[in-house]
Structure 1
Amino acid sequence: MPESQAERIRKTFTARFGREPMLVRSPGRVNLIGEHTDYNEGFVLPAAVDRAVIFAVAPRDGRQVRLLAADLGEECAVSLDRLPKPRRGWADYPVGVLEGLRRARPRLGGFDCAFGGDIPVGAGMSSSAAVEAGLAYALDALFELGLAPLELVKLAQRAENEYVGVRCGIMDQYTNIFARNGQVLRLDCRTLAAEHYPFPSNKLRVVLCDTGVRHALGASEYNVRRAQCEEGVQRIRRAHPAVRSLRDVTPDMLAAVRRELDPVVWRRCAYVIAENARLLAGCEDLRRGDFAVFGERMGQSHAGLRDEYEVSCPELDRLVAIAWTDPAVLGARMMGGGFGGCTVNLVRADGVAAFAERVRRTYRPPDGGPAKVYACRIEGGTRVIARPPVL
């Protein structure tokens, strides 16, 4: 039997730091439906998966912190009394958490930490949030800081927004902390209220297929889409002053101003309004156990992202088309901001191996290597998985 990720990280820690650590598991995540809805104060439907970052942590005397990135074989030492400015490297993610924690809880002490795992970087499973929220959770448990779960979420998000400099929403960190085993999470991005829905991992798998494409266009076009949505809201607000975001706009409201909106802006707004409605209806599908209809809504989501929001790319469209030729696939769409990255597929558990083989046989990434396929189970959020023995 291969060594577990947790045991690998534990051994790395003990070899470097000479004592037994507490172990914390921090999962990656997927988003089944609800794309580009978060910054429009809409809904998302993520879940935590069985790929994770493992943290091994133990306190030390003084104010020094030693961080070991086990998968890179690199180490960084910092002082809690003088944290460095961002360096645009892996250490920014944990150090950003330390910046927030030392302000929130000045009694935070020095510690040693080794971390690593099996979340593929760049595949859209939010490895960065797993590092940020996972470390915040681990230190809260290690030093008994008494932070509420939502405080951990917001602290981890601020680390990425303010220290790392990435203007992400709150979905990734929220899912990391609040996810439940065998359930997906409907998050209201306005109120941060959440509701869980069943997902039978014994019957279904979430499978990600990586295009191998990373387009620099994504960041600039993301900002353009946000501006276009706000332009639509501003026009609708003239007739409906209570409208704060596209979350508040009905199809009839949008139809009433169609002639006054740029056609591109109208399409962007139409997609967001329809996507929120799809997600809410999809949650009822999950409650009823109607996964075939839910999968159809995933297909509609991809069509909207491709044709109305225009954030897909030929490689994403190709992988979605391949998926729909497989009889075990119930749903398929692009996942994430767009212009590359992964597709997310809803696949019957007994058909995952054949589906993965079909993708590898019929899709070739730009680098010419085999396509990367990640089959996932839906699991719970960040938790302590082992504590050192009491002597």
Structure 2
Amino acid sequence: MDSSIIQNKFLELYDKQPSLVRSPGRVNLIGEHTDYNEGFVLPAAINKEMIFAVAPNDHSRCRIYSYDMRENVDVDPTAFQPSKYTWANYILGVIDQLQKQGLMVKGFDCVFGGDIPKGAGISSSAALECGLTTALNHIFEFGLDKQSIAKISQKAENEYVGVQCGIMDQFANMFGQRHQVIKLDCRSLEYELIPFKIDGYKIVLLDTNISHSLASSEYNVRRQQCEEGVKILKEQGLEVSSLRDVSLDMLTRFRTMMDAVVYRRCRYVIEENKRVEEACRLLEQDDLPAFGQKMYESHEGLSKAYEVSCEELDFLVDQTRDNDSVLGARMMGGGFGGCTINLVKEEALASMTMDIEQEYQQQFRRELKVYIGDIVNGTEVMSND
């Protein structure tokens, strides 16, 4: 998005020069629903972003305007209640967390907007949280490092918004590097940057243009089911703190102690962690076709074992299976809607997307949105006061 649009709106509303921050969305190549199980993920920052224009004010109030929604909130940073606007609660969650860290958030003015599609699974929420936290860190000189900003942003979503997300989205948002993917250990937060050499191919996001109401509630249910599996294993005397510590042999040994659904959920997470490690080795060997097959395996697990896919996502993945121009495809994000992520041969991009748009329209009577992704740097301050 052109940052001047947001900057000009800020000048119109508040008549002063702001600081500017850009905050990207993210893709996740493989490793879905593993982050809150202390596992491995392989995300990257993507060229869909939010722009924030922010400056301190003399009013002891936080005045925030959403350019895209044409809505605003005006709150006292020392005493506020949840907002009727969904987007505002992510903002309030950040202010709440900063206060809990002992950091004084004074009055500020903010305009933000961007081109991250909502409900597409590209994590507009993390861009909103990390972008604002970075902006406030900048204008109030809190001295927070990237990891602290990621953790504060995650807690804002967990504790104020009530979505029990893991750390992946916020970490990718802050630590993204151009042309590289991040192999992140969600337990230790140790990470490795792996070059993503896809010359001749493009990351293509196919947006179902749906967001089933199940997404948020079922996300929390999946987390509880995984925790239930770990609890059962602990009761059998195993020294495990998360599914990260559990092997398939261990899980199978105590299968009869578990509900069949809990067993399937746990098995998927263990297998997905292994897939991430195998996928990283394949990237280091420049074996993109084999990497693509791991994406298909991931989708199969998400659809059949973890059951967070939906008819539209499965349809889009199935349409690519016999297409030689597509190396791999899978659903991405929390599930029940959003995008599939695809690795598509650049020369076949136009024909592939045109064909699949027509097939999707015919099947579901709904428009398919297509986004071409490039991997970019994470959240950063664009200009100073």
| Secondary structure of residue in 2 paired with 1:90 | helix
Aligned residues of 2:7 and 2:53 also touching (Cα < 8 A): yes
Q: Which residue matches 1:257?
A: 254
Partners of 1:352 and 1:375 within 8 A in 2 = no
Q: Check conservation: 1:67, 1:76, Cα contact below 8 A.
A: yes
SS at match of 1:307: helix
1:359 maps to which residue? 356
| SS of equivalent to 2:361 | coil
SS of residue in 2 equivalent to 1:57:
strand
Give secondary structure in 1 for the equivalent of 2:327: strand
Asked if 1:181 is matched to 2:178, the reply is yes
User: What SS class does the counterpart of residue 318 from structure 2 fall into?
Assistant: helix
Counterparts of residues 78-227 of structure 1 (less than 5 Å): 78-104=75-101, 106-200=103-197, 203-227=200-224
Over 3 Å counting, the alpha-carbon distance change for 1:100 and 1:226 in structure 2 is closer
Distance in 1 separating the partners of 2:233 and 2:51? 47
Once residues 269 and 284 of structure 2 are traced to their aligned partners in structure 1, the CA distance between those partners, rounded to angstroms, is 23
Alignment root-mean-square deviation, CA: 2.2
1:72 counterpart (50, 69, 73): 69
After TM superposition, the structure 1 stretch with the greater mean CA deviation from structure 2, 41-50 or 339-348, is 339-348
Match of residue 55 from structure 2: 58
Instruction: Give the corresponding residue for 1:381.
Output: 378
Code of the residue aligned with 1:233 in structure 2: it is V
Q: Which amino acid aligns with 1:24?
A: V
CA 1:346/1:102 → structure 2, altered by over 3 Å: closer, same or farther? same
Say if 2:317 is the partner of 1:326: no
- Hey, what does 1:301 align to over in structure 2? 298
Residue pair 2:31, 2:272 contacting (<8 A) in 1 also: yes
What does 1:232-271 align with in structure 2 at a 5 Å threshold? Answer: 232-237=229-234, 241-271=238-268
Change (3 A) 1:97 1:269: closer
Offset from partner CA, 1:328-360 (integer Å, 9 cap, x none): 211101112222222111223333333221221
Distance (Å, rounded) in 1 between the aligned partners of 2:227 and 2:213:
23
Q: Confirm or deny that 1:274 pairs with 2:265.
A: no
Distance 1:90 1:367 in 2: 29
Measured against aligned partners, the alpha-carbon deviations of 1:237-263 in whole angstroms (never above 9, x if no partner) come to 455522222211222223333455444
Q: 2:286 aligned with 1:289, yes or no?
A: yes
Could you tell me whether the CA contact under 8 Å between 1:63 and 1:81 is conserved in 2? Answer: no
CA shift at 1:87, angstroms? 3.2
The 3 A distance-change label for structure 1 pair 81 and 249 is closer
Between stretches 352-361 and 119-128, larger displacement belongs to 352-361
Residue 72 of structure 2 aligns with an amino acid whose one-letter code is E
Gaps of 5+ in 1: none
Q: How far off is 1:15 after superposition?
A: 1.9
Counterpart code for 1:58:
A
TM-score (norm: length of structure 1): 0.91
Instruction: Measure, in 1, the Cα distance between the counterparts of 2:192 and 2:263.
Output: 30
Give the match's secondary structure for 1:125.
Answer: coil
Task: Determine what percentage of the aligned residue pairs are the same residue.
Answer: 49
Distance 2:160 2:253 in 1: 43
2:32 aligns with: 35
Larger mean CA deviation between 130-139 and 6-15 belongs to 6-15
